[in-house]
Amino acid sequence: MEFESFVPGHITGFFEAVRGPDPLTTGSRGCGVVIDGGVTTAVALEEDDENSVRCSINGEEVPCPTTEAVVGEVLDMVFDTYSVRVAHTTDLPVGQGFGASASGALGTAFALSEALELDLSETVCGRMAHRAEVENRTGLGDVIAELAGGLVIRTAPGAPGVGETETIPCSLSVVAKVMGGPMPTKDVLSSGKVEAINREGRACLAALMEEKTPENFMALARRFAEKTGLMSPEVAGAVADLEKAGVQASMAMLGNTVFALTDTPEDAAERGPWCLESTGDYSP
């Protein structure tokens, strides 16, 4: 029997990476938006002589170290050993700033908890997924935001139950378009850009706390993308194109993706094959 769970994606507009004494206190401050699109995770397991896990994304068997770490932590809670198959299905581009790895990891925790009748809380599942993200360097703040839903300010870093969030009321639609190849989070966070990222992320968060509106969020996201030097020429061109139509836009962190919050998503749709979403108001 398969057990399924859906978790929405998350687009970060700006952030500051914060290293704590352990994975649960490590995370990020910043702001981003949860979207309706996400990852559906199906888990099937059978008793075996030893624990093992196989993962696939959209039918293709691939290594998923973040998901595998979650499976390992859940199986450590039970006495029996299992062969586990995890199948992620998503229309979100991986490595393009949509928080897909966090969605898959969190969905795995939820589905395995149900399959093994563990009745784990959202916070416990979230901590597992966050720890796996931090240890595998695939993300810092997507998990806690995905659990919150909406336009989320991460005011204190860390896993669910450790970090803190606020939500900005937002009824706008999200538009997004991938403009280039993947941008692995671990590559950026180990580069020379971290100092600029943290400096600008702190400044943007302080400015957002003075005016908590979607419009200010988008303006600060644009400022962050430019001042950190993360925005590619392709993304910059798309941002300029949208602004000509009166739509505020910026770059999804971290990916070669342009995104915007707008009440006129049709203006973006006329300019190419955009992914249209509403702000996610999801709670598992």
Please give the pLDDT value at position 268: 59
CB atoms within 10 A of CB 36: 15
Q: What is the pLDDT of residues 182-223, one digit of tens each?
A: 766 666 766 677 888 999 999 999 999 999 999 999 999 999
Do 2-164 and 167-278 show the same overall fold?
A: no
pLDDT-derived band at 72 (thresholds 50, 70, 90) equals: very high
Mean pLDDT in residue range 174-178? 88
Mean pLDDT in residue range 42-71? 96
The residues, ordered by sequence, that sit 6+ positions from 54 with a Cβ below 8 Å of its Cβ are 61, 84, 85, 86
Q: Cα angle vertex 184, ends 128, 197, to 5°?
A: 90
Pick the CATH number of 2-164 from 3.40.50.2000, 3.30.230.10, 3.40.50.11890, 1.10.260.40: 3.30.230.10
Mean pLDDT in residue range 231-258? 88
Q: Cα angle vertex 122, ends 66, 13, to 5°?
A: 60
Please give the pLDDT value at position 181: 79
**3-state DSSP call for residue 226?**
helix
Please give the pLDDT value at position 243: 84
Q: What is the pLDDT of residues 95-123, one digit of tens each?
A: 889 999 999 999 999 999 999 999 999 99
**51 in Cβ contact with 72 (< 8 Å):** yes
Domain ranges in the chain? 2-164, 167-278
Please give the pLDDT value at position 204: 98
Q: What is the pLDDT of residues 1-30, one digit of tens each?
A: 789 999 999 999 999 999 999 999 999 999
In 3D, which of 277, 282, 12, 8 has the Cα closest to residue 152? 12
The predicted model scores a pTM of 0.91
Please give the pLDDT value at position 177: 87
Please give the pLDDT value at position 36: 87
From 43-47, 53-57, 189-193, 218-222, the region with the lowest mean pLDDT = 189-193
Mean pLDDT in residue range 56-69? 96
Q: Cα angle vertex 28, ends 23, 30, to 5°?
A: 165
Q: Which CATH architecture has domain 167-278?
A: 2-Layer Sandwich (3.30)
pLDDT-derived band at 282 (thresholds 50, 70, 90) equals: very low
Please give the pLDDT value at position 185: 67
Q: Is 80 exceeded by the pLDDT of residue 278?
A: no
Q: How much is the mean pLDDT over the chain?
A: 90
Q: What is the pLDDT of residues 150-166, one digit of tens each?
A: 999 999 999 999 999 99
